[in-house]
Structure formats: structure tokens, C-alpha cells
Chains A and B, each alone.
Chain A
């Protein structure tokens, strides 16, 4: 093997993909400099939902656990940030890892007894969990959550002396997090853990009979997905400077579910694309205000009909018949 002049193989193996990735990054970086404030804000929400979608993608896409209560973990992250910042004055950005930890820890507590449930049974329990968390927040336990009004007056995050306040700042904050998480999840996807998750999704019993520790790996996925939602909660709380139970409804959980299904289960770029569509679609159709949700529903139905695997399903190199290579 030549050591000198060793060229990186990835560059000429998949030039189109790398060109596409470079173009996407360039677009995302330049976007806030030519778009209006309004659209920068929309861009922020795309990033926020991408983060939430990536979290749910681990649970729903990689392992196939139906979780329709993901907003609960988002709420836990947001309220952790809000309460600790307002009461104890801990800087918002410093609460970023703590929010993830609290959401992940709660996910571990909550999901430990229910992780053995399958398919729709788990789905129903997670719907209930989402509602329980929302109702607890409304009922203001120990005067902590402020009831229906929520918690207000969250301090702006400060990053290396720079106060993050404008839509531009938040845009970059959230997309930096998305980039970081997407990269980490991609590495995880290709690891032994990622493969085991996919085995569980395909056939739980067969995976277990092959020596895969199904219970721990399912729990790990749940905790990791919830921790990502906790991160998103922290950024959301910092951006809104207030949190209230209205933001974490069942509808939000459904939207996140749609993001993953729309993009393609287990596909990281698909999830980001799904988030972009779910956020952008209602914005684009704002002129036909009251019918825009109708269009959204039609678009979702059409996607499921024409591309049942999602818009950007995960690619794997396989052959269908001997000799003829194909990519599904």
C-alpha cells in the first residue's frame, strides 16, 4: 500500500453525494444572509423539528418502537431549562446537557416497565404518557410549572460572551446542534448498536435468539431519543423565553411521527427533509390560510401512496438478482 499520495477514496467514489452534501451545507450557511427575518425564523423551526425528528427517528425509525408521546420529553427538557434558569439562575446554555439528562433519565424511568410492549400497545401507552406529562404541567405541581401560564422570563443564552438573541443567532445555534447530532447518529447507525437496533426492528424474537440484548438496546434507543428531545426543549425554551403546556400537545407528537414517516424510517437525511417539509408546507400555503392543513393532509397521503418507504429512504447496497446491482 502506498502511504504517500494516498487519496481519500470517498471523494471519487461518491462525488454526487458529496457535492450534494456540500451544496446543502452552503445553502444552510448562506440562507440567513439573503432571507428575510421571517424566513430565518422558519429556518430555525425547521432545525428544531429536525432535532426532534432525529430523536424520534432513533426510537421509531431505527428500532421500530411506536412512540406517539415524544412531545413529553421535549416538554421535560424545556421545563427543566425554564425552572432551573428562572429559580436558580443557572445560565440557559449550561442547562443544555442537563435538560438532555433529565429528559433521558425520565425516559429511562418511564419506559423501563413498558419497554416489553409491542406495536400498538406501546403506542397507546406513549400517547397516555404524553398526555400525563402535559396535564401534570397544567396542574402546577408544588408551584413549579406555573400551571397553564407556564414559566416566563427565561434568560437569553450566552455563548463565549456573545448573547444569543436574534433569529440569526438561534438559527445557527439550532443547526449546529442538528449537524452535531446528525453526525453522531450516523456513526451510531453504522456501529454494532445501530445494526442491532435494525435487527430488532426486523424481527425481535429472531434477534434475541441470535444473542442481541433486546431489552437494553430498546431502552438505550428510548433514552437517547428522549435526550435529543430534551436538547431541543432547551433550545426552544431559550428561543421563546417562556414555556407553557400549550406547546407540547398530542398534535406535536403526531407531527414528529409524520416527520419520521415522511422522510423515511431510519434515514437521517430523510428525517431532516421531513422536518423541512412539515414546517415549510403550512408556511408556503399560508395564502390559502384555512385550507392549508387540508393540503398538508393530502400531501401526506400522496407521499404514503407513491413512496411508502418515505421520501428519502435509507440506502443500502444490495443485489436483487445475481450479477445485477441495484439500490432500492
Chain B
């Protein structure tokens, strides 16, 4: 087991954001954590990367107790957190942002990693001298992922990579995530876009107001009736699907389905 989160609770003051959450990431898989706004998904990632202190429980990574280490040490262990809303350094150039991702690494390693990132995202190479704040949302997300790749991560924590992106770009970002995973990086993915996340994940957990309510293989969860109801659009979704089909066959459907 690469990462083992065991009975972790986190509170912000009196508000308990995570209540005895346990999950595991093994080998080279993609694990998705789904849930609505305020379910505690981001808090979970922040707890793993040391950005918020945990109240109880333990987080074990490769035999090390992550919850006892400060955030910058965790990052140097190869646990890379790609925060929600991208958080690229808007006033630095694309290249400077990437250099920051390799902070503390040897120069040659940084150069090598940068070449790899440019290969994965050619658009970043084109814009290397541009300020990160002037990039489009999709490009910023690519930069955030690229910045995370600079340290040759051993575990990638991805927070809402689809946030605020056009559907076409979402597809592109998810294809990249799959590619990174194929190259051998395990990924813990937090998403609101449940359908997309389940389509690429191996394992999935569903978080509701700080608790894991459902866990299992992604394929099984996608077929689960409760999940379909709550996260995959339920009846409305099926209706929309049907409408799409009938549009394809040429019938003019009722706009309400």
C-alpha cells in the first residue's frame, strides 16, 4: 500500500470537515474521491499534503507518517499536491512556475523534467516566457499539472482539475491525467465531475459531509443505483441521454425530454 489514510479527522475550529476517513492508494492506480461541495474532498488532500493539521488518525505513505511532517518535507518526498483553482503564480512566467515545481532539485534534473513537461504540453513551451496569469484556464491547469510533474512525483494529489474548464478542455485534461498515470504515477483525484472521474479511475470513494459513504471499484460505483441517482444526474441524466439519442435519429423531441 503506497498511501494509507486511516481514521483521519480534521476540524476547522468547531466544524468537523473530515470524520474518521480511511482510504488507500496502491501501486499505479487512479483513485477518485467524489462528493458534493463542502463534502471535505479538498480538506482530505490538504491533510495528506500537510497543509492542514489532522486532529486524529494517521496518514502513512511508503511507511512514513506524513501527518508528523511539515508540508514542504512532504512535497520533497514526492507527494505532489496540485491545488484546486490551479494556483499558478500569476506574476511569474510559465518557465519560472515550472522551475518552482523543481525547487530544491539539481539543475540537470530540473532541465530534464522541464523537457518532459514541454513534450507533454507543447503549448507551455510556446508560452514559456509569458506570465502565467495571462494564460487561459486550460493552459493554467496544464501548467499546474506540469509544475507538479517537475519533481518526478511518486504520488500525485489532483484537486478538481476540471474546475472552470470548457468541456473540450476537460476531455484533454483527463486524457493527460490518464497518460501521466500510464507513465507510472499513482493519482489521487478529487472531482465533482463524477462521470468523468469514474471513467478513468480504478477505485473510487464517495464522500458526504466528511464521511466516506461508499467505496469500491470505479466500474461498480458507476453502475450503482445510488451513485447514479446522486452523482450521475439520475433520472434527469437518463432523460437527457434519451433526448440526445432521439435527436440523433432525427425525431424532434420535447425539449423537456
Contacts and interface: CB of A to CB of B under 8 A. Distances in A.
B13 to A, nearest CB: 16
A208 interface: yes
Contacts of B80: 209
Nearest to A202: B89
For A192, A208, A209, A213, the residue with the greatest tally of chain B CB atoms inside 10 Å of its CB is: A209
B72 A206 contact: no
Interface stretch (A97-105, A153-161, A230-238, A318-326): A318-326
Contact of B83 (A192, A202, A206, A214): A206
B170 interface: no
Interface string A191-202: 010011011001
Interface in A238-297: none
* Interface footprint category on B: 20 to 34
A209 B89 contact: no
B81 A209 contact: yes
A323 B140 CA distance: 19
A28 to B, nearest CB: 32
Interface string B96-110: 100111011000000
A286 B99 CA distance: 50
Contacts of B99: 195
B100 A207 contact: yes
Contacts of A198: 92
Contact of B103 (A210, A318, A319, A320): A210
A317 interface: yes
B130 A320 contact: yes
A215 to B, nearest CB: 8
Contacts of A215: 70
Contacts of A15: none
Contact of B75 (A195, A210, A321, A322): A210
A309 B129 CA distance: 21
Given A202-B89, A203-B87, A205-B51, A210 B130 contact: no
Interface string B28-55: 0000000000000000000001010000
Contacts of B76: 211
A214 B100 CA distance: 13
A319 B130 contact: yes
B83 A209 contact: yes
A152 interface: no
A319 B71 contact: no
A212 interface: yes
B131 A211 contact: no
Given A199-B100, A206-B83, A213 B72 contact: yes
Contacts of A206: 83, 87-89
A189 B126 CA distance: 27
* Interface footprint category on A: 20 to 34
Contact of B72 (A203, A208, A325): A208
For B80, B87, B90, the residue with the greatest tally of chain A CB atoms inside 10 Å of its CB is: B87
B89 A199 contact: yes
A195 B131 contact: no
B162 interface: no
For B88, B100, B151, the residue with the greatest tally of chain A CB atoms inside 10 Å of its CB is: B100
Contacts of A212: 72, 100, 103-104
A211 B93 contact: no
Contacts of B129: 317-319, 325
Given A208-B51, A210-B101, A212-B72, A203 B89 contact: yes
Contacts of B72: 208, 211-214
For A192, A206, A321, the residue with the greatest tally of chain B CB atoms inside 10 Å of its CB is: A206
Contacts of B96: 195
A4 B85 CA distance: 53
B151 A322 contact: no
A167 to B, nearest CB: 42
Given A209-B83, A318-B130, A202 B101 contact: no
B91 interface: yes
Contacts of A205: 51, 83, 87
Interface in A10-28: none
B147 interface: yes
20 contacts: A192-B103, A199-B89, A203-B89, A206-B88, A208-B75, A211-B72, A211-B75, A211-B103, A212-B103, A212-B104, A213-B70, A215-B70, A318-B130, A319-B93, A319-B130, A320-B130, A320-B131, A321-B130, A322-B126, A322-B127
The 7 closest A-B pairs by CB, nearest first: A211-B75, A206-B87, A319-B129, A208-B71, A209-B81, A202-B89, A213-B72
Given A209-B83, A213-B70, 11 more contacts: A195-B99, A199-B92, A199-B103, A206-B89, A209-B51, A210-B147, A211-B75, A213-B72, A214-B72, A318-B131, A319-B131
Interface of A: 192, 195-196, 198-199, 202-203, 205-215, 316-322, 325
